[in-house]
Each structure stands twice: as C-alpha cells, then as structure tokens.
Amino acid sequence: MASIVRKIVHTAKCPKALAPYNQAVVADRTVYCSGVLGMELGSLKLVDGGAAVQTAKALEHLTTLLEASGSSIEKVVKTTILLADMSDYGAVNEEYKKVFSNNFPARTCFAVNKLPLGASVEIEAIALTGEVIQVST
C-alpha cells in the first residue's frame, strides 16, 4: 500500500490558530484550510469596519495560507462561509468576487449563532496542489 503524505502547514504570515487546530493540512494533493477570520496580523483583534472589511482581510489571509501550502486561490475547489448575520451576504459577496473573479469554486454560505471573537465572517477552503487543468462542462 502506498503512503500518503500529511503535512501540517503553519505560517507566521497569518494569524495564529485560536484553539487546538492547524492553520491548514495538506493530505496528498489536497489542502484543507481551517476557518480564517478577518484579524489583524500579530494580534487577537478583528479589523474594524464590519463584514466587508473582515471578509477582505480573511481572504487576504486565506490567499497567504494557500500559498504557504503550495496552492493558490485559483486552485480552490470549495469554500464555506459562515456569517454572524445573513444580512451581510451581499457585502461579503462583493469582496468575495474581488478574489474569486472567475471559475468560482463550489461554495456553501450560512448564518451561525456566533463566531469566534465576535467576528462577522469566517471562511474556510479546500484546494488542490500541483498542476491543475481547468475544464468546464
């Protein structure tokens, strides 16, 4: 039986994990990114400005984390967005479209009771590594 590599990813260029989890794990050629908040780097403070600003910062951190994992935004196949308030859906989508501009990944978005640190939004992703050929049907 062939072995599969399980690589733990940690980068100081993204906020530290808030609990006992890793920022990302690469299993074979798939990257599983934990939920990312719109936090200021080096602190446990959310960026000011609400859902849109937190989304932009979370996506910035997600992009950095994917690069540290050997992947990229273009190789994301699935995202999950957690919102503290579904009325922020439109503002979050506007920021999301600035990062995912075409060949959108599959996505789930739903409202939850509360997010860590009182965040407005949290975003997680699954991506691929290596050469990826985009095919549409």
In 3D space, the residue among 127, 133, 132 whose CA is nearest the CA of residue 31 turns out to be 127
Query: What ranges do the domains of the chain cover?
Result: 6-128
Determine the Cα–Cα distance for residues 20 and 15; give it in Å rounded to an integer.
14
The better pLDDT of the pair 102, 21 is held by 21
Could you give the percent of the chain with pLDDT greater than 70? 100
* Side chain identity at residue 57, one-letter code: K
Cβ atoms < 10 Å from Cβ of 13: 12
Is a pLDDT exceeding 90 seen at residue 18?
Answer: no
Q: Which residues lie closer than 8 Å to 103 by C-beta, 6 or more apart?
A: 74, 134, 136
Does residue 1 register a pLDDT over 90? no
**C-alpha closest to that of 61 among 50, 49, 45, 73:** 73
Q: Determine the Cα–Cα distance for residues 77 and 137; give it in Å rounded to an integer.
A: 15
> pLDDT tens digit string along 41-56?
988 899 999 999 999 9
- Record the pTM: 0.95
DSSP 12-57: TTSPPPSSSS-SEEEETTEEEEEEEE-B-TTSS-BPSS-HHHHHHH
Model pLDDT for residues 76-89, shown as the tens digit of each residue: 999 999 999 999 99
Note the pLDDT tens digit of each residue in 105-133: 999 999 999 999 999 999 999 999 999 99
Maximum CA extent, the chain: 51
In CATH terms, the fold of domain 6-128 is: 60s Ribosomal Protein L30; Chain: A; (3.30.1330)
